Amino acid sequence: MAAKTYLIHNKLFDETFTAHIEKNGTAWVGLVPDIPELKCHGDTVEAVEQKLPGEVNQELLREEEAWELLLVEAATSETLAKLEAQTQQNYNEGRYTELVSLT
């Protein structure tokens, strides 16, 4: 059997990914170009097809968790305090533009 390409829809994140399954020696490997760190191995194409959606979901959850940690870190770091101080200084010196709602 030659390489196979198919779509995987992740319901949790409501995203669709293209997956490629190809022969790698005696085993098969599933790859998702949009998630380059993901490689799913199996003895058969069917085994990789069965495992790949779950692996995609797990990787998306890991990525989401990593982003959440970065945001929490940024919110609790000195960086945010510096931005707040700079914003207050700009406001005090009149360097701002009022936003007007059009609705």
Instruction: Tell me, yes or no, whether 103 lies in a domain.
Output: no
pLDDT band at 74 (very low <50, low <70, confident <90, very high): confident
pTM: 0.69
Residue 20: inside a domain, yes or no? yes
Tell me if 68 is assigned to some domain: yes
Residue 101 in domain? no
Average pLDDT, the chain: 90
Kindly report the CATH number assigned to the domain that includes residue 42. 3.30.160
- Distance between CA 73 and CA 84 in Å, rounded? 16
- Is residue 97 included in any domain, yes or no? no
Q: Which residues contact 52 (CB under 8 A, 6 or more apart)?
A: 8, 19, 21, 30, 32, 40
Tell me: pLDDT of 81 over 90.
no
The answer as to whether 61 is a domain residue is: yes
Q: Is the pLDDT of residue 20 over 90?
A: yes
